[in-house]
Structure 1
Amino acid sequence: MIFQKLSQSIQLGNKEDEVHEILIDSSLSTIFANAGWLEIVDEKGNFKAFINKGISEIDVFEIKKVLRKNHFNIDNQPQYIKDAKSLEHSERIQKLPFKSLLIIPLYSHKQKLGTLVLLKNETDGFDKEMVDIICSFVSQASIAIKNFRLIDEAVATERYQEELKIAKEVQKSLLPQSLIFNINLQITAFTKAADEVGGDYYDFYEYSDKKIAMVIGDVSGNGTSAAFTMAQMKGVFQSLVQTEIPPDEFMVQANKALGRGLEKSSFITLTFLSIDTENQTIEIARAGHCPALFFNSQTGEISYLKSKGLGLGIIRNKDYSKHIEKKKISYNKGDILILYTDGIIEATNELGEEFGFDKLKNLLYLHHSLNTKEISNLILEKFYEFTETQALHDDYTFLIIKFV
């Protein structure tokens, strides 16, 4: 019986395709139908599978066209057509041997799964008992198909969760385990991975006790691909930074190195800066990343350190050097620099409003007298107060540097 076959198919861990074959083969043989076809759709209603037995695809197309012209809806309700050749506009199917059609849609909890169509060569070829049998077959097959999809969904979810776990572990391992210590700087870093795992990245390199390099970036995409792209970025940073090249040249070389391995759709936004505590200067280059926020303690003004820059991996040839520039500024004791990713700025509240640049700027203006840890805590307090229960779909990261 079909019921046993369907049950065994699930128990043996077979695929949904086998249910399709069992349904149409059992239906054809049980009621001695001459031909038939089965159409299956996915959860979104998109075509997934088509099986035809005893009839060509062209003839299926012609029959469906006749049914549409006669306003038969084969998708929602069972239909029994005693003589298709007597229908209007049936000229194209007169040469076919088939006369009677039985059409049974497949449903599971109001979700459309597909349609089964059976054909016989004689007029009025299906009696009530046959219709009841096929409806029973279709009902059981629909349950089996739904069960297979639930199993596939559970397996995919489990696999995704495992990949997500790996991605989070990779991401965590790539970030510095501790902050660098320098008597001329206060540094506080904060990062939080979203549920989907983005690709926020930051790192440090100490050339000497008077010169430090920092980087903060955001990898496009999420999940394992973002985590492993982040790993590539860390490798490039750790290799290039040791040569003590200027920030703009760092970007050019990083773009060249990453361009060979990045997926075509991937790119990285990045800010690289070099701090010279002896001469009290900052050299900075920006590859499409959020502009750094700079508080000048002498004037009390806050500005964005904007410079021309295109994300790494967007242009993968020599022309990239035309799209990047270095900026150099001097700083004084008491000045503050905040580097951040767009997860902070683009986070929304329940009204869909973004946290935005201005809130971050105002917080810095009001609390610049505090140390970096206190400023960090205030930013997070206001950030969580703003977003409340809203799910955060992107990582959010910031570095606060105060010159002392």
Structure 2
Amino acid sequence: MGRISRRGFTVAAAGAMTALLATGEAGALEPEPQGRTRRKREFRGMWTATVANIDWPSRPGLAPDLQRAELLALFDTAVARRLNAVILQVRPTADAFWPSRYEPWSEYLTGHQGRSPGWDPLAFAVREAHKRRLELHGWFNPYRVANHTDPGRLVPGHPARVHPDWVLPYGGRLYYNPGLPEVRRFVQDAMLDAVWRYDLDGVHFDDYFYPYPVSGQAFDDTAAYERHGAGFPDRAAWRRDNIDRLVRETGERIKRRKRHVQFGISPFAVWRNRTTDPRGSDTRAGVQTYDDLYADTRSWVRKGWIDYIVPQIYWEIGNRAADYAKLVPWWAETVRGTGVHLYVGEALYRAGDPAQPAPWQDPAELSRHLTLDAAHPEVQGNAYFSAKQVVSDPIGAMARVVRDHYPHRARPPR
């Protein structure tokens, strides 16, 4: 994704707020659109990515007051768009946006891993989000260590340098090995440090478990498989069990200590294609989470290990390989009767991108998604990737969603 300067970001945020206020978009006085049934509770989330400074801060090394001002501009725009939850990435690469007991400060704050930014971003984010009646969900990436393969570039004392046997290079990145029980316990401890110390509303994992496949490369976990894989029919089953354990144990630990904190995951939207498994979706996706990421997302829902799931249905209605209109009913059926909330992940970043197909050039495409979702009572909301586009809204797709579907603010489901 392209970068946006601090000045450009701030101006865009201010412009979005001004336009919304001027048109009444930030108010809550409009009548309900005729024929629309208003949900009493509905999730309206905004992903805010910090890895590579995608959304915030706009660049590393900003003064603390500027970092705070940028985050507040994002929160205020979320309120203006009548959203009610921010999913803030606080552990993007085995690092932290809070003074962690386990891992170094993130380089995306100061430009130098391990250097304190001079303030506590997570404490500030929780406080300011709650002032605005926004939920704050901490977004954690469990296993990604670095977007490079050189452990020597990590700060001295980094757990990946202290325990080099925990780490594997793959596809130009470093990863913790999910097959090691000591790694699974450590990453849980590192993530839950934030949950125990801050008033988070949710713990959020994205779609990165075992890494996405890279052609011609192997994720070399042979030694771990030989040590821990006895009793499994093959390596794939063992890998799925490793991720199952991470998900189940994380959820159990959260509920034992902070039962009110929600645990959610936003996976790649295709569990398996129907041609692979009759229980799968009517899709022809090149990636299947069960087979390629070793993430049995359907099972996590059916077993009730998570509170909510946000499949990233990042395709348009009518897409030949993965049709939005086919995936939403499949997920609705998957969550039915489980008590797990279904929110749909929306590719706002594609709206107006000239590299995307024709439907994404139409400001009404996302609004049509929510109209389709309304026909499925299991769908209890949506989340938008990402915050930068919520602010800039280049072709007005987000404004159209607000106009058509968000006439009033709503409280998130519980």
Q: TM-score range by the shorter chain?
A: under 0.3
Relative to the length of structure 2, the TM-score reads: 0.25
Q: Taking CA–CA contacts closer than 8 Å with sequence separation of 6 or more, which of the two structures ends up with the larger relative contact order?
A: 2
Relative to the length of structure 1, the TM-score reads: 0.25
Structure having the higher Rg: 1
